[in-house]
Copies of this chain bind each other. A is one copy, B any other.
Amino acid sequence: MHRLISDFFVPAFDLSTLNDSAVVSWQATGRVALTTDSYVVSPYFFPGGDIGLLSVCGTVNDLAMAGAKPLYMTVGFILEEGLPFEDLNRVLASMKSVSEEIGVRIVAGDTKVVEKGKGDGIYINTAGVGIVHDEIELSPKRIKPGDKVIISGSIGNHGIAVMADRSGITFDPPLLSDVCPLNSLVDLMLDTTRDIRAMRDPTRGGVATTLKEFANDSDCCMILHEETIRVRSAVQGACDLLGLDPLYVANEGVLLAIVAPAAAEDLVTEMRKTSAGAEAFIAGEVTKSPPRTVLYRTTTGGNRVIDMLSGEQLPRIC
């Protein structure tokens, strides 16, 4: 275990000591965001990413959605006996690379090993700490009728990339997960306008679940327009094949923002200048009634009510 830590983990991360706690200097006061997520994605290498990349981006994105600048992360590994060291090394390398790109410091870590058959290769938990930007107040309670719904990219890519890989379905060109850090995109958005009401990254449960949460918390109705929603044809095809609705499929590099109407067009224009936001679009708007409802308005003018997914969600997508 000592060798595992000193040979693999210390070089990959910012672990200056082997103490059980990292002590960092802290000058900011105000508001601090805290978050955690466990990652059990299967397979742990998937088209467009791996569990390590996912675990760093997921936590950074959760902080960014609260309007927080990600500062520090912790990481806990649960490794199954027999895991090839080269797999662990590849996962650590991608965590190191993306955390350096983001500028978030992984300062504390832990590793446990479980017997064969009591895990599945690699499970990762990450927790993150960030400072909330001054004057930023993001909350679904601030959503008002008339606001616009912005989605930062085409939807369903992560979930379908993982599910298709698991099902042996291939695409030409390959369909990649959208997993990526969203903190720079959020910085740009907050610099562009102060009229963002709420943000969330529609991971598990997809766009539908996030909008339903927003509808419930704001007591408003969210209307999505079918013709605006960007879904890649490969994703739509795989969804048809697997009996899935892209609105419920997990994304790992997409954000959903509710924005004051006057700010929406300019914001989307700015977002499109970035790689994470290159496919940003206005997906719909907020109305007063029916309250606590999400409606999907089809191209033929019909309305479909979108609810929380009542059956089982896709297992082990993240």
Contacts and interface: CB of A to CB of B under 8 A. Distances in A.
Interface of A: 1-2, 18-40, 62-63, 65-66, 68, 72, 74-78, 107-115, 117-120, 123, 125, 127-130, 132, 200-201, 204-205, 213, 308, 313, 315-316, 318
A2 B76 contact: no
A205 B2 CA distance: 10
Q: How many copies of the chain does the oligomer comprise? A: 2
Given A20-B65, A26-B28, A66-B20, A35 B114 contact: no
Contacts of A35: 20-22, 74, 108
Contacts of A31: 23-26
Contact of A18 (B38, B132, B213): B213
B120 A74 contact: no
B110 A78 contact: no
Closest 5 CB pairs of A and B: A127-B127, A125-B125, A36-B74, A21-B66, A20-B62
A108 to B, nearest CB: 5
Contact of A34 (B18, B107, B111): B107
Nearest to A141: B17
B28 A29 contact: yes
A277 B125 CA distance: 33
A76 B76 CA distance: 10
A66 to B, nearest CB: 4
B20 A315 contact: no
Nearest to A32: B26
A77 B123 CA distance: 11
B23 A32 contact: yes
A114 B130 CA distance: 29
B119 A201 contact: no
Contacts of A32: 23-26
Contacts of A72: 34
B213 A36 contact: no
B34 A132 contact: no
B40 A78 contact: yes
B34 A77 contact: no
B76 A125 contact: yes
A203 B200 CA distance: 39
Which of A32, A200, A213 counts the most chain B CB atoms within 10 A? A32
Given A21-B68, A29-B27, A36-B110, A1 B63 contact: no
A235 to B, nearest CB: 23
Given A21-B34, A34-B129, A114-B123, 11 more contacts: A1-B205, A20-B66, A23-B31, A35-B74, A37-B76, A37-B110, A76-B127, A78-B125, A115-B316, A119-B119, A129-B129
A213 to B, nearest CB: 7
Contact of A2 (B68, B114, B308): B308
A27 B117 CA distance: 46
Contact of A108 (B20, B36, B107, B200): B36
